[in-house]
Structure formats: structure tokens, C-alpha cells
Amino acid sequence: MATINFGGVLENVVKRDEFPLGKAQEVLKNKTVAVIGYGVQGPGQALNLRDNGVNVIVGQRKGTGSWKKALADGWEEGKTLFEVEEACEKATVVMNLLSDAGQIQAWEGMKKHLTKGKTLYFSHGFGVTFHEKTGIVPPTDIDVVLVAPKGSGTSLRSLFLSGQGLNSSYAVFQDATGKAEERALALGIAIGSGYLFETTFQKEVYSDLTGERGVLMGAVAGIFEAQFNVLRQRGHSPSEAFNETVEEFTQSLMPLIAENGMDWMFANCSTTAQRGALDWKGKFRDATEPVLNELYDSVVSGKEAEILIEANSKADYREKLEEELSVMHNSELWQTGLEVRKLRPTK
């Protein structure tokens, strides 16, 4: 484990050369790892573990779309693919990768198979942190750990296949065996993490809910809509408004930021762009910081968890979600985007 200085703050980070795959395989060699849920995170983590030589089985409700996807990915019914409770019973490591709502619904059935000495793994701290609302309270004689990739399961898989890795946080909530941290790190390396940084279940869920509702999805989607609307209202064509709002950001500037940081991106843009961006940056920061503080307070209070649980418990949730996404899809902004993407040159 290395101690890295991040802007004057020392943090514990585990890199692949410090905890190599061979060590992870040794820690997990006598374990049966059950990936429960084959939706967002499940496929990427399960396939990476399998490719890294870990003994993996999948637990999923039979007959669902995710069950069919698991079959298509090569998991075999009765051999490596089972119903949720049967997989939990067979496993020594239970990776609970169901959705937050799914975890609540399946918990009582899973809990009875979490016997002494087993490891319960999450990729999100939601269920345990908000246990008063979810009812998820792990038995005291098992290890409870977390590895949270900082991206989608699709990205985890694609980066793994290209020989790269997605950064992940890790945490130990409960160490019943004295080996919880070692097991967490082994699982983190085996799923294909680029490096692992230490956190807690609570901090993971607070930062994750804030990030998703903020910069990662909610804020950027809202800002895209606002700027596109302003340009359209001021007489710019849909194509011009989309290119200046979304296309240049995603196709040109974000890769530069990802490569060397925001300051490097500024340095490699025109002087006109540099000066204007530096002058306006503070105004956007000052305007949005109160909103982000309001959001963080809503997360910590449990209000966001209540909204999520209530929404997901409704029978028509998926139907309503499709309606909301359809409005977004059919908006002028994203219909323009659909046409602009068709115009991108192919390799």
C-alpha cells in the first residue's frame, strides 16, 4: 500500500504492482465467488473475475432478461448460473450487485445463507449505510467489504479487455475473520481495478449519490440543456447549438482533460477561449456550489434514499422511467445529437 499526496492530503492507495493479480488469485483460490445480479455491474465484474482465473458463479432470477444475458455470456445453468438463493448458499464470497431496490427485495432470502466466515461484498454503500430504510443489517460473524469501480460495468469490462483498468474505492465495514481487507483488495484487483483507494461505506455512498446527481449526470445534463436552449433562443441553428454545447465538449475537450488535466486543456486552447473561460469559471462555481451543498445535505439526511426507495417500489416505475427518458430522447437537443453522431467519420 502506498501513501500518495493528493494536493497536500495523504491517502492510502493500492496499486497493481503492490498487490499483483497472482497474490489476488492466491487469496481467492479456495473461494467460490457468487456474483448476485447481472444488470449494470454484474456482467463486467463476473466476466473479469472469470477471465482472471477466479471460481465464479452467477445468481440471477430465472427467466429475466439478465438471466438470458448471462446465458449468452457463457454461464451455464446448473453449473455456473443459479437462482439467487442457491448461488448464495454455494458461495463463500457473495457479491451483492443487485440494484439498490433489488437488494432490499432479495435481502431476507440472501441473509439466511450468509453463514459464519463468509464474505459479503458490495459495490455501493447504499444498503448498509441507510439500513434503517433498507433493512440490510449483515450478520456479525461475516466479513463485509466494498469495492466500487468509478464507472459503469461496461467501462470496467472494456478497459479490462484493452489491458487497462478502472479506478475503484474499497472499504471494510466489518472484519469478522481478520482477513477482510486482504479479501477486499484481492477482489478489487481481480475485477480489473486500475488502482484502489480507501474509503468507508458511508463516504462512498455520500460521494456517489452527490456525484451522480451533480457533475457526472444531473448537472452536466442540465447545463447542456440550458446552453443549447439559450443558443437556440438567440437564433443559432440546432447543429451549431449542439456542436458548441455537446460535440466539442465530448469529442475534443474532455479527452484533453482526461489526458493531462484542466490547466493543460486551457493551455492548449486559443487565447480567446482561455481568457473567457478563466473569467467566467468563478461565476459558474459560485452559482453551483450552493446547489451542490443543498444536494449533499439532501443525501446525508437520507432524503435522497427515501426518494429512491419510494420511486423504485412503485409498480409503474419502469414505465414512468421510460416516459422520462423518451422526453429526453425526443427533445430537439438529443435528436440533433442523433443526426450529428451519424456525421462523424468512420475509421
Q: What is the distance of C-alpha 148 from the center of its chain?
A: 7
**DSSP one-letter code for 77:** B
Task: Give the span between the Cα atoms of 238 and 110, in whole angstroms.
Answer: 51
**DSSP one-letter code for 244:** I
* Contact call for residues 231 and 46 (beta carbons, < 8 A): no
- As a dihedral over the C-alpha atoms of residue 187, residue 191, residue 195, residue 200, rounded to 10 degrees, the angle is -50
The answer to whether 248 is a known ligand-binding residue is: yes
The catalytic position among 124, 131, 236, 329 is 124
- Told to judge if 329 belongs to the known catalytic residues of this protein, a careful annotator would answer no
The answer to whether 208 is a known ligand-binding residue is: yes
Grid cell digits, residue 79: 453449473
Grid cell digits, residue 201: 461505506
The answer to whether 304 is a known ligand-binding residue is: no
Query: If we measure between CA atoms, which residue out of 122, 107, 109 comes closest to residue 42?
Result: 122
CA angle 257, 167, 177 (to 5 degrees): 160
* Contact call for residues 298 and 292 (beta carbons, < 8 A): no
- Which residues are known catalytic residues? 124
Binding site per annotation, positions? 208, 212, 244, 248, 270
Binding site per annotation, positions for substrate? 270
Binding site per annotation, positions for Mg(2+)? 208, 212, 244, 248
